[in-house]
Amino acid sequence: MALFPLASVACGDAAYLRYLLARAVPSLGESDRIKVAVTEFNNRFMDIYASQGDKRGIGAVPATVAMRHSLVTDAGSLWIGGQVLVYDIASLDFRSVKQDGPLSATVLVKEEWNYQYKDGKTYKEVGQVHGTGALMRYRLVQQGGKWLVQACEPVRGSDKGVKKGA
């Protein structure tokens, strides 16, 4: 019985073992790693839009292939229209982090952003700086030992009842 944890790690079941242990001892959970992935995703999100959808460095975005493709496509379509959308994150306030299973998690984040359109050739301002905020839901999966953003969507309605922290 004492060799069961070692055998499970050797068989590639480490994520399952960590998940089970974290259910018993929450401090062993993946919350910190999951938060880092969401934060890094947003930092890279800004870079992709500022680079006009340039694919260099896209592999560093902690996201699934489908999500990375979507980001580049969206940013590139603006560039084709002659504009660049410059995003700057003002704040990320994690409201909840829930590991749904050994390889999946859901995160709620209150985000505040500033954004401005600029000319794609001269980088001169096309419009004023605007601000926006929303409660966002991130769905993450673990692949190859890394947490990756699989989907990101605004949460409709209010954020009442959503606990801060986690």
- In sequence order, the 6+-apart residues with CB closer than 8 A to the CB of 151 are 67, 138, 139
Tens digits of residue pLDDT in 26-63: 655 799 999 999 999 999 888 887 776 667 778 889 99
Burial class (CB in 10 A: 0-12, 13-18, 19+), 6: exposed
pLDDT band of residue 137 (cuts 50, 70, 90) is: very high
Alpha carbon of residue 140 to chain centroid: 8
Is the separation of the CB atoms in 115 and 133 below 8 Å?
no
pLDDT confidence of residue 19: 64
pTM: predicted TM-score of the whole model, two decimal places: 0.76
